[in-house]
Structure 1
């Protein structure tokens, strides 16, 4: 079927490109290497095919693409509206306002497990990364499948987690005031699959638990998602493009290399994470008595107070 705004020859070309995709899984849980497509010339049918594959495999890499910054941005826009500058780490000399660049020489090594920007109300839907400069060895990225991690939990643990929320902040970026609360288990908006949604980098606190219970539970969950059977490891090459579904994955850069590693990333706007159900309990700070341990609750108390103040003003 022809797509509005494209002539029949363009449509046939897109269909032919989609038909030639060579997809090779990278691990049992997630990830695939895709060849047989030129992303700089991808038509709507190609984009649709990639979207479907991304939903299935969560992380995709496309070797030997060598996109220019303009082509990179144009590709991202085919998947949705792009975010502008990074909220905390933007650089004034980026090649495009939509591109976030990280260079190893400037300390850009994301070597803690994380889902991008979970301290915002609507974290990104997906990211598209261009490996501009790659070391000869090392600097791989690992991803983990948060749907698989949830599914392998016991039923009692699943039931408890589905009624909880967590506070996330941008402390690793030097911004303690950027905070958001999200469900501990979120639903994928398209497949309705359940995924764990806490990470060691940005998640600070289980809202409905006291600080010591929260610390113990988060320690377990953030270790649990790192189990090798949920993960895939990507060995980069220069000019490779990587895409991942930011809603149901975490990633980790292995800081084991010598030399420069430069990445450029565009990010597709996301939505507000939806939980399986409404929170089942009041925030801990609503029922905790003032005591010597109250300093553990100060951040959560401040966030809830400010949020309630904004809601009342609206």
Structure 2
């Protein structure tokens, strides 16, 4: 395990119950694994593709070091896992519109330092994201990923019962409104209306239950009153209870026991299951330069 992957515990060898065509080293008991013995410049054969898909579903996020791939190879690798989306606001690579450019420098401070699941504001959010480091500071600019299956599993039973049938709105503008000119807000609302997703979604490949709300895009619970005991005196009692529940659920992502933290190096790649984890980009490196490229695989409608 590379010492630059920071974790609650040192990496542990993958359990021997499964045979992998590459090396797998766990980062924490809850989430994350580093993959070695694979060259992502080469096309994936069916067996390696299937094994990588199992690895990312099992570990939620997997890391690759020293992968000096071209943008075209990045897109080809990502496309092996499904159709790729084109983000409506982030700048794109000039030759590959599926490849988002995330660049921060002394004139542009990052704003990704909040817990979120990519594009949960879409009616069909992403299956996964594949992020490659092109340039990063010597220190700073780490990213954390959070296992939201564990976050759900460890909730008190009464909370699980309360939220099992709740649905929440996920919206584009609360976060991206700052980078979209105000005169275009109405157009973007029409193009990307609020997406309504279950507060607890089911992973389509494992059947796991996932806590699926995030502080970046989830704005409110749309059916709170239909699934709670009517014990309120006034309307503000009801609204405050809904807001307090949502804030409580947001805070589950902050538990270190569910997290892994990666220290980036050039040509490091992180591939995460966007259905079952959230992430947080630590903004402690300004005004240093941090340059990343990301491809996002289209997923499925949460149920």
TM range (shorter): 0.7 to 0.9
Q: Of 265, 283, 289, which aligns to 1:260?
A: 289
- Contact 1:94 1:101 (8 Å CA) reproduced: no
Asked which structure has the greater RCO (Cα within 8 Å, sep 6+), the reply is: 2
Whether 1:213 aligns to 2:241 is yes
Please list the CA deviations of residues 24-67 of structure 1 after superposition, one character each: whole Å capped at 9, or x if unmatched.
11111100111100012132211111101111100001000011
For 2:251 and 2:35, the matched residues in 1 are separated by 30
Contact preservation (8 Å) 1:139, 1:254: yes
Preserved CA contact (<8 Å) 2:30 2:147: yes
Separation in 1 of the partners of 2:243 and 2:152?
A: 19
Aligned to 1:192: 207
* TM-score, structure 1 as length reference: 0.78
Q: Structure 1 residue 61 and structure 2 residue 63: aligned?
A: yes
Is structure 2 residue 262 aligned with structure 1 residue 269?
Answer: no
The runs of 5 or more residues in structure 2 that have no matched partner are 1-18, 178-184, 225-237
CA distance in 2, matches of 1:262, 1:256: 15
TM-score (structure 2 length as normaliser): 0.81
Given that 2:126 and 2:298 are in contact with CA atoms closer than 8 Å, whether structure 1 keeps it comes out as: yes
Greater shift after overlay, 98-107 or 140-149? 98-107
> When you count helix as a share of all residues, which structure comes out higher?
1
Structure 2 distance, partners of 1:241, 1:107, is 22
Instruction: Provide, for residues 88-116 of structure 1, a one-character-per-residue CA deviation record: whole Å limited to 9, x for no partner.
Output: x2326544111011111234441010001
Q: Give per-residue Cα distances to partners, 1:256-301, cap 9 Å, x unaligned.
A: 1141111100011111000xxxxxxxxxxxxxxxxxxxxxxxxxxx
- What is the RMSD computed on CA atoms of the aligned residues? 1.5
Deviation of 1:159 after TM superposition, in Å, equals 1.3
For this pair of structures, how many residues does the alignment match? 255
Q: 2: distance between equivalents of 1:248 and 1:93?
A: 27
* 1:1-314 matches, cutoff 5 A: 20-41=21-42, 42-83=44-85, 85-87=86-88, 89-91=89-91, 94-105=94-105, 106-170=108-172, 171-174=174-177, 177=189, 178=192, 179-209=194-224, 210-258=238-286, 259-274=288-303
Q: CA deviation at 1:162?
A: 0.8
Distance 2:76 2:275 in 1: 22
Question: Gapped runs of 5+ residues in structure 1?
Answer: 1-17, 275-314
How far apart are the structure 1 equivalents of 2:97 and 2:113? Answer: 25
Between 1:204-213 and 1:164-173, the stretch displaced more is 204-213
Q: Quote the Cα distance in structure 2 between the aligned partners of 1:124 and 1:86.
A: 11
Whole-Å separation in 1 of the counterparts to 2:31 and 2:125: 21
Q: Could you say what secondary structure the match of 2:53 adopts?
A: helix
Q: 1:8: which partner in 2?
A: none
Aligned mates of 2:142, 2:54 — CA distance in 1: 25
Question: Looking at CA atoms only, which structure, 1 or 2, has the larger radius of gyration?
Answer: 1
Secondary structure of residue in 1 paired with 2:145: strand
Partner SS, residue 98 of structure 1: strand
SS in 1 for 2:161: helix
Q: Is the 8 A contact 1:94 1:100 kept in 2?
A: no
Q: 1:108 to 1:94 in 2, by over 3 A?
A: farther
